[in-house]
Each structure stands twice: as structure tokens, then as C-alpha cells.
Structure 1
């Protein structure tokens, strides 16, 4: 950008010398079409000349869009936070716009008040967004990926500087971000922006690193914990992205292996050695062998039967006690009625 500004200033100087000596009244822009990244500042370099021997007191910048003309700066006069007159009252009529927006795109012109009207030229501003390009659509663990910050305003020389962010944290600089031997830690939301230019951030590109099954293991729990009765459940757990697509359970006994299930959970009928195998589109993995003791299932069932039997006995005892209490209350009630009847008959 510095080299570009110097070149424009030399152009301004050459144009100025050429036209001043020709004694012309004019307004000119070294760049008649300007491209700017949304959120960045932009400068409209401008020169003017007049032949009257009097100081020009009023300068105006206008904006044209859809055949409508709007005055955006009147110098000296109105003060704007986004529009800044960076010229002077002699021959420099440059304008700076801070944090350009998409709505700033359009045509601009400069005028100044003199006794003689000078020809007015139009300057065109285009406003673009930074974009990120990724060559690989599906990214798997171990791949190398390049993210490129695309700026249609930048030439082949790449005069702009760029910063890269992952999940909002600054991570690197340069137009291309190289990610090598990627893993799940590289997954996240990536953006780029122009160096030292807040507000120029690109859209988000999500890097989603896929991988085969990892850390496959067998967990054991009772189905009563899940409210489904009384039995032991083996659960096959694995970390995979995309998630595991296929499950297989195997029982190992005396040198042979038998497939006994194809779901994430298994209800074993007997004790013994079990393992699970999982797979997705990127690979497969087996768990270590899990040994379910032969008596563990029956011990569990025995304990459950003891609990159930004790509950039944307790329920019968409580029921019997309630029945006995009710019988005694009935006998007491009948005794009271008999005594009362005897007393009444004696009185009569």
C-alpha cells in the first residue's frame, strides 16, 4: 500500500505540473476506479487547478447512485466521522473514507466554487469482502490443507498484509495459511483480515477434520440403571468422526471367535471373553478383550432374587400385621357394643 501511495503521489505531481503550465481549470483523479475491502479506509486522491487569482473557499464532495446526487462533505463546514477532507485549498482535493461499507459503493465527484465552472469527472468506488478458499472439501486426519485469503482488490504482487484467526484467536500472518498433518485440534472456525485493519474480517470457513475410530473400549453396567429390568449390559464406546457406522461383538472361547451382536450394546447370556469392533468410512478399530466372570451374571441375578424375596416377605409381614390389627379392632368394637347393650337392659 505504501508503494502504491507513492506512485499515486508522483502521478498527482505530474498531472499537476502538466495542467498548471497549460493554465487549465480542471479536476482530476489518478485512479478513476477504486476497489476497497469492506471495513478498511480508502483515499480518493484528487487534484484541481483554477485560473482565477483568488483563493477557493468552498470544497464539495458528492455521491451519485441510482441517478440520485447526495452531498457528503462540504469543506469547510460540516464535520463527519467517516468522511475526512485530507486536501488543502491550493491543489490537493483528496478525500478519505473511514471503514467503508457496501452502501458506499458508487460514483463520487469533487467541485469547488469559482467564478468559472470547471468540468467535473466521476470517480467509481467498488467495495468487496475478503473470502477464504479451501481446495479440499473433505479433510481427514493427516492431510495437509491450505487456506487462502482472497482479495479481489489486490494485484498479483500481493501488496496487502493479512492476519489469520481460529475461533477468534490470532494464529498467523500471510495470505496463505498452511495446515500440515492435521488432527482434530485443527477443527474450528477460521477467518482472515487485513493487517492492522479492524472491521475487514472475512466470512467464516469451518475446518472439520474427520478421523477413524479411536479409544475403543467396553463398559459394563446393569440395565436396571437405565430402567430396563435386571441384567448386565456391555456397551461399546468409541471416539470417531463421523460417528461409528458399524458395530460388531465377538465372544472368544477356546481358540475360536463367534460373532454375537451388531449393535452398540450387548446383553451377554454367559460369562467369558468379549470384544467389540467398530468402523466408519475412515477406518476401524477393535477394543481390548473384556472378561465377564462366569459367576458375575448369576451373582447379580442371585442378589436381585434375594432383594425381591426379601421385599415379598416384608410385604407379607406388613399385610399380616395390618390384618391382625384390623381383627382386634373389630373384636374390641363388638365388645363395646355388647357391654353397652347390657347396661341399657339393666336400666330398663
Structure 2
């Protein structure tokens, strides 16, 4: 018979045999051969006379009439024809199966269907993942388990992800529930989205001394990453806002009173943009500088007056 198995599963090749059974004719050894070797002379993949049989191949029959054979964790190179052979204690008692059994090995397949067309997966889309195995011939009786990043998350042939978000990103596989060694190819779900959690911050502080330095930093989460950052300053109701920088950091090397004011940043990628909340900078000491200048001017005037009186 032809037998189909999924890579990584276990498969049993059913087998039965008959022979002239009498006190002088007893089965003393059993063997299973693969088509890559000689069915009569071996070497055999299982030989009851050998102590070096691979643990993947197990004879689960007996020496009377059952010659069933099991292969664990089947691999693609296990594909091919298998034949049973046995020997009795009589010189002429060597028998080999005529037709044998043909074994085919297939991989589990996954089908990905995006409900709103092709292209990148974006937040809000819906995705249907279906586990398929060629051995069932369309029979839906096989039980499947779905895994995300190696952790079991669902049972069933299909996994439906609706209104997906960044939390759905990851590597997905399916397996036959009753065969732990089976696994499909990895399906990577990469959910793209526009900038979010955009924020602005000031270093070392939002309050700085005049003539010191300060850096504004814009941060945002996005997939694909943010392509453009823009810093804006709110001027007044008439002017509105003006662009003051086009990098994620805005540096003021020497702070002057003109730096004082309200700022915000905008982060943009192909899926959209988002503004940060307002960062308010306060320059300390700007009034002191102005008062000191006025005092200096006053002192100069007094000196000038005194000199004029003495003349």
C-alpha cells in the first residue's frame, strides 16, 4: 500500500505474513529493508539480529503473523519503498515480501490570506492563517495547534487574526496536535503602523540658565521606523508655528532669551504622522542680564554728570 506521513510525525507500516508453521519451522529473525539497498542481502534499516538498529525504526510486530513496522520523526529521506523479510530455522526458510509498501513524506503547509488585498500588513487589517497537510486528501479530521514565537495559542486548522495591531507581530507555525515533532514553515507577521507615543523631552531640563546649552529630543514608535522628524516653535496667534529643526534632536549651543517659548515635534513615516505634546522652555537669568545692563548705563550717566559739574 501507499502510505503518506507528515515530516516529523510517526508512521506505522501495517504488515502481516504467513508461512508453514510447524515445530521444525520457526521464525528466528525479522528484517525491514529500504529500496536504497538490496532487499535480500541488505544492509537493512532494521534487523533483529543486529544490536545497532536506529531507535527511529521499531519492529512492533511478532514472529507469528504480525510484521508491522514503525518509523518515528520521519524525514524526507525516509521516502521510498519498504519490504519485509524473515528467516526461519530451516536452511530454505528465507522469505521476502513481494510488493512492499511505498512511503511518501510531506511538509505541513500554511496558507496566508489577507482579507483586504495584498501588500504590507497594517494595523486594522485582518489575516487568516490555514494549516494544510497533503496527506489528508481534503479530510478535515486532523487536529492542529497554532504557535506564536514557540508558544501554543490556538487549536484548529485555521487561525483568524482580526483588527490586527503591533501585538500580533511575530513568528507563527502550526503542527499536528497528536504529533509534537511536526511543524510547518515559519510565517512571519510584521504589522506596520504609523508613529505612536510621540513625545518631546529637554536635556538637562526645561529650565536653563542663559548662555548654557540645551537639547530637545523627539522620540516615537513606528513600523517602519520614523522617516522624518520636525521641530516646531509656537510663536503667536498671528504667526502660528515655525519650523526650527528637521532632526530628532534640536540643539541650542548657547541659550539666549529668544529660546524661551513653547515647542513640539512631529514624527512621520509612510503610514502617517503624530505630534508630541508641548515642551515649554524657560530661560532663567534673562531679566538679570537686562537689569545689569541698565545699571551700567545709569552709572555711566552719573560719572558724566559729576565730571560736567567740576568743570
TM-score bracket for this pair, using the shorter chain length: 0.7 to 0.9
2:147 pairs with 1:165: yes
The alignment of Structure 1 onto Structure 2 pairs a total of residues equal to 263
Matched, 1:274 2:263: yes
Measured on the aligned residues, the alpha-carbon RMSD in Å equals 2.9
Equivalent residues in 2 for 1:173-192, closer than 5 Å = 173-192=155-174
2:112 to 134, 146, 152: 134
| Cα distance between partner residues in 2 of 1:56 and 1:297 | 109
Q: Aligned equivalents of 2:212 and 2:82: distance in 1? A: 80
Corresponding residue for 2:199? 217
Q: Which of 206, 225, 248 is equivalent to 1:243? A: 225
TM-score (norm 1): 0.67
User: Does the CA contact (< 8 Å) of 2:84 and 2:96 recur in 1?
Assistant: no
**By how many angstroms is 1:284 displaced?**
1.0
Unaligned runs of 5+ in 1: 1-30, 224-228, 303-348
Q: CA deviation at 1:173?
A: 0.8
Q: Secondary structure at the match of 2:43?
A: strand
The Cα offsets for residues 179-223 of structure 1, whole Å up to 9 and x where unpaired, read as 111112112222221113222123322222111111111110149
Would you identify which runs of 4 or more consecutive aligned residues in structure 1 move more than 6 Å? none
> How far is the alpha carbon of 1:56 from its aligned partner?
5.2
Higher helix content, 1 or 2? 1
Task: Give the counterpart of 2:248 among 264, 273, 291.
Answer: 264
The answer to whether the aligner puts 1:93 opposite 2:67 as a matched pair is yes
1:178 positional shift: 1.2
1:105 and 2:49 correspond? no
Q: Distance in 2 between matches of 1:297 and 1:277?
A: 30
* Superposition deviation, residue 129 in structure 1: 2.5
Q: CA deviation at 1:130?
A: 2.0
Distance 1:247 1:113, change over 3 A: same
2:46 corresponding residue in structure 1: 73
The normalised TM-score by structure 2 is 0.74
8 Å CA contact 1:270, 1:297 repeated in 2: no
The answer as to 2:42 corresponding to 1:60 is no
Contact 1:275 / 1:289 at 8 angstroms: preserved in 2? yes
- The answer to which structure, 1 or 2, has the higher relative contact order (CA under 8 A, 6+ apart) is 2
After superposition, the C-alpha distances for 1:121-154 in whole angstroms (9 at most, x for unaligned) are: 1322222222333234622112111122232222
**Preserved contact between residue 231 and residue 297 of structure 1 (Cα < 8 Å):** no
Change in Cα spacing, 1:71 to 1:274, as seen in structure 2 (3 Å) is same
How many angstroms apart in 2 are the aligned matches of 1:145 and 1:154? Answer: 24
Match of 1:306? Answer: none
Q: Which residue in 1 is equivalent to 2:99?
A: 121
Q: Do the aligned residues in 1 keep the contact of 2:84 with 2:97 (CA within 8 Å)?
A: no
Deviation per CA, 1:240-283: give whole Å up to 9, x if none.
11111112222212212222221111235521121111111111
Give the Å deviation of 1:90: 4.4
SS in 1 for 2:135: coil
Bigger share in strand: 2
Do 1:49 and 1:91's aligned partners in 2 also have CA atoms closer than 8 Å?
Answer: yes
Greater shift in the superposed pair: 208-217 or 99-108: 99-108
Cα displacement (A) at 1:290: 2.0
Tell me the alpha carbon deviations over residues 79-109 of structure 1, each in whole angstroms, 9 at most, x when there is no partner. 6532222334444322111222233222211
Question: Would the aligned equivalents of 1:271 and 1:297 in 2 still touch at CA under 8 Å?
Answer: no
- 282, 287, 291: which one aligns with 2:280: 291
Distance between the aligned counterparts of 2:7 and 2:129, measured in 1?
A: 20
